[in-house]
Chain A
Amino acid sequence: MPALWIQNARVIDPANKRNAVGDLFVKNGLIVADLSAADKKKAKVIDGTNLVACPGLVDIHVHFREPGQTHKENIATGSHCAAAGGFTTVVCMPNTSPPASNTGTIQYIKDVIKRDAVVKVLTTGCITVDMKGEALAPIGSLAKAGVVAITDDGDCVQSNELMRRACEYAKMFELPIMDHCQDHSMTVDAVMNEGEVSARLGLKGWPNAAEDLIVSRNAILATYTGAHIHMQHISSRNAVEIIRRAKDRGVSISAEATPHHIALTDKCIEGYDPKFKMNPPLRTAEDQEAIIEGLRDGTIDIIATDHAPHTDYEKDKEFDYAPNGILGLETALPVTLDILLRKNRFSLPKVVDLMTRKPADLLKLAAGTLSVGAAADICLFDPKEKWTYDARAGFSKSSNSPWDGEELQGRIKTTIVDGRVVYDGKNVRKR
């Protein structure tokens, strides 16, 4: 493998407080401080002029649908989306079919990853057996099999007692618990945010309170058990406030926000288009502002996409019957840049931090840094380039994106994993 010499890029590496135009060197798949004169002669040179070079993006919340629903996506195509989106490390949710609640399924997934994935794909296991919310999954065995967290994402453990035991048990293995915060009793048949827009459209509403209650519960259980609970895709302004206050008290919790929750509101649903149907639902402008403030002051730790592919025919339905979820990986960076950098004046290093070092640190992953000696997982992007996203021309098997056909600003030019270019701005290097 030739050495890499990235020249003249704006290198942003929050882990090392680096933010300046310069060069990056890679040898044997690792970041190095410099290359020898001989290596420089042979090195593959990448011109980074006017580009940002940062650690490969890290997404701890993706659905790759394998095993069981590979008509929507599989680990190969999911990893291609990741590469095209600048992501070098992603964490798969366990709500596959069968759900990843035993070590056999985890091993199967890991075998497929080893064979097919072009970026680093990590696995999570379920909290409860088959995600039924009734009995604890073999959490210790899952930890041993290498899962980086446990979650029943897509669902939420409703029993407080069971969640408490999961926390206590997972704590033994220092395994973080990630939770999709939704009180099911308050969201029966709900398909969108409960509020003015749902009142007008006659669609069944999903109130913020259903999220807030579980966020509160989790803060209480994290306090009581000492386990770490990560709140997935926070969408409610009160939830942000609850997390803020719990963190002030030193409770071991963290939270993520998705690009779509900071970019879109429930007004998007006025035409009943299922490409805006997701769970938790798009909420109001006030919720959006609170989440952005949460990202600004660190209450919300990271950005995660909740990349959730569904085929056209599954989404082409009455709004009530369409499945929840949208694609996220290929549009995450430009959408986040648009909202945080351009509309809310976050600094570029801050945005990069939310998508690299911080998510990696949260799950203690060896990623998200350009430190010398670290794996050479690098993303090069042009923050200014405008382009039109065509979901069908993308790398997913699905095309369910609200940004399909929209002009975006900020484009991934090169994605490098372990010193190897896996995406060159046009093509993914297939395995």
Chain B
Amino acid sequence: MSWNRRHLLTLEELSLAELDQIHATAASFKKILTRSVKKVPALRGKTIVNLFLEPSTRTRMAFDMAAKRLSADTISLDAKSSSTTKGESLRDTAQNIEALQADMIVVRHSAPGSPLYLSKILGIPVINAGDGAHEHPTQGLLDTFTMRERLGSLKGRRVVILGDILYSRVARSNIQALKTFGADVTLVGPSTLVPKHLEALGVTVSHDLRSALADAEVVMLLRIQHERQNAGMFPSIGEYTSMFGLNQQRAAWLHPNAIIMHPGPINRGVEIDSELADGPRSVILDQVTNGIAVRMAVLYLCAGGQPEYVTPTG
């Protein structure tokens, strides 16, 4: 089976076969990361522009590193260095990037749907690096890749996503991929951040941490933003932690083999206690490493490379 998608905009639109292809390609790229020369010539001569109109250090660094591991040239533009602060439209900015003969554009933008919009305007591949509260497909890919490394097949596995789901693109991409993999997803958190209508995503919504965590094999924590408290979404950080923070006692409710995930950056002592974040169940740093391999796979496939070593999902 061959890869025939030019853009990566959402995980909602990817089939199980396509998710498998990306993961399999990522697995082969991950091996390269352990070599002394961590570089392949797959995208030599190609130029990738990282258009990050919303600040992000981690994702941008990971995309940049992934592109360099594939021997591509990269250019990074942020809101300050692009002309958008001078009132230039996104259309004009993107068309300029294309006219400069870039081969691919990686876009992070606060407005949901903006990568889709760019994909309709541009003739080059568009990779969504996070569009507002909509999706963050490479994060969902690296998270599910990490889960599969630890747990094998995700079919029927109990995955809990805990925290600010309403505004989380990470949650949305994970939910979409997990659904395709056949996992059983529960969203948990305060009702203001995890409203009932999220059930439209095909998941269970719960506000009871104990029953949600019971026997879960994955718990994925999301960062709590201080702005949400100011917006009246919950009374205080202290109250959040007392109601929904993950500590040793609560982690004991999980399945014995459960893993603990977090897309970072972590608020130690808020979403999660330090001893858990650094403990044996935590795969937080594996997620970071896998982020490079997965992004290499996405850049490579969307640039026209073909998947190798594809193994069927169990």
Of all chain A residues, the one with the shortest Cβ separation from B121 is A316
Q: For window 79-121 of chain B, which residues contact chain A by CB distance below 8 Å?
A: 89-91, 109-114, 116-117
Across chains A and B, the number of contacting residue pairs, with CB separation under 8 Å, is 62
Quick check: A272 and B117 within 8 Å, CB to CB?
A: yes
Q: For window 103-148 of chain B, which residues contact chain A by CB distance below 8 Å?
A: 109-114, 116-117, 131-135
Residues A201 and B117 in contact in the complex (CB < 8 Å), given A318-B109, A320-B111:
no
Tell me the bound Cα distance from A197 to B110 in angstroms: 18
Give A191-209 as 1s and 0s: 1 = Cβ < 8 Å from B's Cβ atoms: 0001111011111100000
Q: List 11 A-B contacts (CB under 8 A).
A: A194-B197, A195-B197, A202-B131, A202-B132, A203-B134, A204-B133, A271-B116, A272-B112, A316-B89, A318-B117, A320-B111
Q: For window 269-328 of chain A, which residues contact chain B by CB distance below 8 Å?
A: 271-272, 313, 316-321
Of all chain A residues, the one with the shortest Cβ separation from B91 is A316
| B158 contacts A by Cβ under 8 Å | no
| B1 contacts A by Cβ under 8 Å | no
| B169 contacts A by Cβ under 8 Å | yes
Give B245-287 as 1s and 0s: 1 = Cβ < 8 Å from A's Cβ atoms: 0000000000000000000000000000000000000000000
Quick check: A203 and B112 within 8 Å, CB to CB?
A: yes
Our pick among B117, B131, B200 for the contact of A200 (Cβ within 8 Å) is B200
**Residues of chain B within 8 A of A313, CB atoms compared:** 89
Quick check: B113 and A272 within 8 Å, CB to CB?
A: yes
**Residues of chain B within 8 A of A321, CB atoms compared:** 111
Quick check: B201 and A199 within 8 Å, CB to CB?
A: yes
Quick check: B198 and A199 within 8 Å, CB to CB?
A: yes
**Residues of chain B within 8 A of A319, CB atoms compared:** 111-114, 117
Of all chain A residues, the one with the shortest Cβ separation from B166 is A199
Q: For window 21-71 of chain A, which residues contact chain B by CB distance below 8 Å?
A: none
Tell me the bound Cα distance from A84 to B3 in angstroms: 50
Quick check: B112 and A201 within 8 Å, CB to CB?
A: yes
| B305 contacts A by Cβ under 8 Å | no
| B68 contacts A by Cβ under 8 Å | no
**Residues of chain A within 8 A of B172, CB atoms compared:** 200, 202
Give A84-114 as 1s and 0s: 1 = Cβ < 8 Å from B's Cβ atoms: 0000000000000000000000000000000
Tell me the bound Cα distance from A242 to B134 in angstroms: 34
- Least Cβ–Cβ distance between B267 and chain A, in angstroms: 22
Tell me the bound Cα distance from A194 to B166 in angstroms: 11
- Least Cβ–Cβ distance between B128 and chain A, in angstroms: 11
Of all chain B residues, the one with the shortest Cβ separation from A198 is B197
Tell me the bound Cα distance from A320 to B113 in angstroms: 9
**Residues of chain A within 8 A of B200, CB atoms compared:** 195-197, 199-200
Instruction: Give 8 A-B pairs besides A199-B197, A319-B117 with Cβ atoms closer than 8 angstroms.
Output: A201-B134, A202-B112, A203-B112, A271-B113, A272-B117, A313-B89, A317-B89, A318-B109
**Residues of chain A within 8 A of B117, CB atoms compared:** 272, 318-319
Tell me the bound Cα distance from A201 to B115 in angstroms: 13
Residues of B whose CB lies within 8 Å of any CB of A are 12, 89-91, 109-114, 116-117, 131-135, 166-167, 169, 172, 195, 197-198, 200-201
**Residues of chain A within 8 A of B90, CB atoms compared:** 317-318
**Residues of chain A within 8 A of B111, CB atoms compared:** 318-321
Tell me the bound Cα distance from A316 to B201 in angstroms: 29
Tell me the bound Cα distance from A319 to B117 in angstroms: 9
Tell me the bound Cα distance from A197 to B112 in angstroms: 13
- Least Cβ–Cβ distance between B142 and chain A, in angstroms: 19
Tell me the bound Cα distance from A199 to B199 in angstroms: 9
Tell me the bound Cα distance from A240 to B91 in angstroms: 40
Q: For window 183-228 of chain A, which residues contact chain B by CB distance below 8 Å?
A: 194-197, 199-204
B91, B111, B167, most chain A CB atoms within 10 A: B111
Of all chain B residues, the one with the shortest Cβ separation from A194 is B197
- Least Cβ–Cβ distance between B86 and chain A, in angstroms: 15
- Least Cβ–Cβ distance between B5 and chain A, in angstroms: 17
- Least Cβ–Cβ distance between A405 and chain B, in angstroms: 16
Residues A202 and B135 in contact in the complex (CB < 8 Å), given A318-B113, A318-B114, A320-B111:
yes
Of all chain A residues, the one with the shortest Cβ separation from B12 is A200
- Least Cβ–Cβ distance between A372 and chain B, in angstroms: 56
**Residues of chain A within 8 A of B113, CB atoms compared:** 201, 203, 271-272, 318-319
Tell me the bound Cα distance from A316 to B166 in angstroms: 27
**Residues of chain B within 8 A of A271, CB atoms compared:** 113, 116
- Least Cβ–Cβ distance between B242 and chain A, in angstroms: 27
Our pick among A194, A202, A317 for the contact of B134 (Cβ within 8 Å) is A202
Tell me the bound Cα distance from A63 to B90 in angstroms: 28
Tell me the bound Cα distance from A45 to B112 in angstroms: 56
A194, A195, A201, A316, most chain B CB atoms within 10 A: A201
Tell me the bound Cα distance from A196 to B166 in angstroms: 11
Tell me the bound Cα distance from A177 to B66 in angstroms: 61
**Residues of chain B within 8 A of A318, CB atoms compared:** 90, 109, 111, 113-114, 117
**Residues of chain A within 8 A of B110, CB atoms compared:** 320
- Least Cβ–Cβ distance between A275 and chain B, in angstroms: 13
